[in-house]
Homo-oligomer: A and B are copies of this chain.
Amino acid sequence: MRREVGVAVIGTGFMGKAHALAYRAVPYAFPDAAQPRLVAVADINEAAARGAQAQFGFERATRDWRTLLDDPAIQAISITTPCSLHKEMALAAIAAGKHVHCEKPIAPSAADALAMMEAAQAAGVVTQTGYNYIKNPLLELARSMIAAGELGDITSFRGVHAEDYMADPEIPYNWRVDPENGAGALAEIGNHIIGLSRFLLGPIVEVNAQLETVNRTRPVAPGAQARRDVHVDDIARMIVKFGRGCSGSIEANWAATGRKMQLEFEVFGTRGALVFSQERLNELHYYRVGDDARTSGFTRIEAGPAHPPYSNFTVAGGHQLGFNDLKTMEMAGFLNAIESGTPAHANFHEAWEIQRVVDAAIRSSIEMRRVTI
């Protein structure tokens, strides 16, 4: 019989809802996985907590996340609050013996991430961080092709995560630009492309970065005349070295006018290349050295049954996965890891490694030099 895992979610915003939605979808897409029991949802805004309870069928709602800690029905806690709150919540949850899923960025600093990771290791709990995009079956294909040497020796990586949701200088000062939550675009979406590069190629060991604040002031409130200085980056540009030996470039940019989800990469090897953009998440482009010159080129691979766990969602090729399906895969992996006592991915160790790159990039930018990690 399938084990049930009691779960709670802290936070009811974009990611809080995405977690709840994904937990709800796990039983149907992954009937053989451990199954979530939605015990509780917490939000400092009590109405929001009750709204999420009603929408997603949590057994209870609370405005005090601390009440989750001693609830024996809860084995796992999803933390989806702003980054500045992650450490306190995660440490408390770990101390209470809970498994923890914490959204990215895991913490405003690598030091905090390390503390969280070490606490979790000491407590023996399962951890996961929300690098949902890497759950894409086509990216698992990419990772496995690279690992199997199908691209030969990797010679170069080029990664970008660019969106435009902070491009408008009249967006008021908010938690996204509060340094308490870490860097700006670098922390928020740079995290994804750094994490994706790590997923494909392994850890980064050196970074040469320049961070830039394009919108240097923002209104203190919507429509306000008064403005407040912004101290976090809108754009981060990095030249990086991977431990495996190759180098690459990475850009994070949340002021990229017109771009809604330009999370993309190109990876080149001696025997092939892969090109991907989250703008078309059901496609991966593959070039193979040695094909007949008449007919060689980049092949557009469409996600399908050859790419597990695609078929858990729809048995026929061409039907396409959506963002929420990726999140469902992620949560199923978390629950399975809890059940089996094996590590989930990306876990706090991996998140800490990613955060070390973020920290090193900040230091590199300030000190105007390459920083070894």
Q: B-contacting residues of A (Cβ < 8 Å)?
A: 14, 17-18, 20-21, 24-25, 27-29, 31, 54-57, 141, 145, 151, 155-156, 158, 160, 162-165, 167, 169, 208, 210, 212, 214, 234-235, 237, 239, 247-249, 251, 253, 255-261, 266, 268-273, 278-281, 286-289, 293-302, 304-307, 313-325, 368-370
Contact = CB atoms under 8 A, between A and B. Distances in A.
A152 to B, nearest CB: 8
A307 to B, nearest CB: 7
Contacts of A256: 156, 266, 268, 273
Contact of A55 (B27, B251, B297): B27
A214 to B, nearest CB: 5
A297 B299 contact: yes
A316 B28 contact: no
A343 B212 CA distance: 36
Given A25-B25, A56-B28, A299-B298, A272 B249 contact: no
A319 B279 CA distance: 8
A164 to B, nearest CB: 8
A106 B306 CA distance: 31
23 contacts: A14-B314, A14-B315, A21-B29, A141-B295, A155-B167, A164-B268, A237-B239, A256-B268, A257-B272, A257-B273, A257-B289, A258-B297, A281-B320, A286-B295, A293-B304, A293-B306, A296-B301, A298-B299, A299-B299, A313-B322, A319-B323, A321-B323, A368-B369
A298 B296 contact: no
Contacts of A270: 167, 169, 257
B156 A235 contact: yes
A257 B279 contact: no
B237 A259 contact: no
Given A21-B25, A257-B287, 12 more contacts: A24-B27, A27-B57, A141-B295, A155-B255, A158-B160, A164-B268, A253-B268, A257-B289, A261-B319, A293-B306, A314-B323, A322-B322
Contacts of A278: 318
A370 B370 CA distance: 10
Contacts of A320: 261, 281, 322-323
A243 B55 CA distance: 43
Contact of A249 (B56, B249, B281): B249
Nearest to A275: B258
Nearest to A24: B28
Contacts of A289: 167, 257-258
A83 to B, nearest CB: 17
Contact of A31 (B31, B54, B258, B306): B54
Contacts of A14: 314-316
A13 to B, nearest CB: 8
B325 A324 contact: yes
A138 to B, nearest CB: 10
Contacts of A249: 237, 249, 251
Given A55-B28, A210-B239, A269 B257 contact: yes
Contacts of A268: 162, 164, 167, 253, 255-259
Contacts of A271: 257
A365 B210 CA distance: 15
A313 B324 contact: yes
A306 B260 CA distance: 13
B306 A301 contact: no
Contacts of A214: 155-156
A156 B289 CA distance: 31
